[in-house]
Structure 1
């Protein structure tokens, strides 16, 4: 069975030549909202240190984090936790997925 959201992300990632893209929503030909895995070079840095607004002119809408939890039967289960609007001092971790809004060329520069 086809998954349109995955196909859309794949098409968009190829269009933008972006690796690490999880999902995307094209608002128009210039602006998008994308979900992308935090690039390794930004792991351990805060939102402010990366300079999303100042350096890239991007807005981080939220961060999705995967957490492993034990079920009542003792099995491990990975769940995704959506954090609200991140603060400037929020530190990015390995595997975090950022929901970013901005101009497509700026998104491409960041990723």
Structure 2
């Protein structure tokens, strides 16, 4: 996977490192030489670029990137300009750091794929969600183990834990619990972002529990096992 990160403050640097450690090919861009110096040995490429003019962004393979993350944390105007330039250059997926309520509103009007709150702890979760299919969030547990929230892989929907227990065992992944949409909500709500749909946590999952297509799994395991498990059972 190829990712471009624009802006290497605390959030951007942590995200660049996390993505690189998870196996992504990272292009890091910042206007400051010292920020580039801190990250250049940990990512695929690190480049200095003046944010005053977004035109030079066209010199980079933005359309080839699986995700462009605009992580600028101190300049509303530059963040917006580089976001729009990334769209113009054909970025497949754009993720933006939110600077203010007005910034968020404008980014939503631009139909940016994902907006994130700039917390250092959020960087690892975003890295997981960019690199692992169906992952909504992730939490680093240390020693290359993580807890992730992921949509139910297509091949497991409609099955019970009894029917799929061997799949989890072979994959080396454990299911912690399931988050499920509350009964009684209109079906149309299922199409809304998971952040706006009310869900309940099932607690300990029973062996007879049937996995529903719109469930969210909470899974634990080694990062490489989690990634392999989701890729194997996603149905593509």
Query: Is the TM value for this pair above 0.5?
Result: yes
Using the TM superposition, give the Cα deviation of residue 64 of structure 1 relative to its aligned residue in structure 2, in angstroms: 0.1
After TM superposition, the structure 1 = structure 2 runs for residues 71-110 of structure 1, keeping only pairs within 5 Å, are 78-110=197-229
- Point out the structure with the larger strand share: 1
SS in 1 for 2:142: coil
Using the TM superposition, give the Cα deviation of residue 7 of structure 1 relative to its aligned residue in structure 2, in angstroms: 5.0
Q: Which residue of 2 aligns with 1:12?
A: 128
Using the TM superposition, give the Cα deviation of residue 13 of structure 1 relative to its aligned residue in structure 2, in angstroms: 2.8
Tell which structure's C-alpha radius of gyration is larger. 2
In 2: Cα distance, 1:13 partner to 1:61 partner: 18
Structure 2's unaligned 5+ residue stretches are: 1-97, 99-115, 190-195, 231-236
Structure 1's unaligned 5+ residue stretches are: 71-75
Q: Is the 8 A contact 2:125 2:140 kept in 1?
A: no
C-alpha RMSD of matched pairs (Å): 2.3
Q: Aligned match of 2:178 in 57, 63, 76?
A: 63
Using the TM superposition, give the Cα deviation of residue 8 of structure 1 relative to its aligned residue in structure 2, in angstroms: 3.9
User: Is 1:26 the equivalent of 2:144?
Assistant: no
Q: What is the number of residues matched between the two proteins?
A: 104
Higher relative contact order (CA 8 A, sep 6+): 1
TM-score of the two chains, using structure 1 as the length reference: 0.78
Following TM superposition, where does structure 1 have runs of at least 4 consecutive aligned residues deviating by more than 6 angstroms?
Answer: none
CA deviation profile, 1:67-90 (whole Å, cap 9, x unmatched): 2546xxxxx894211111101221
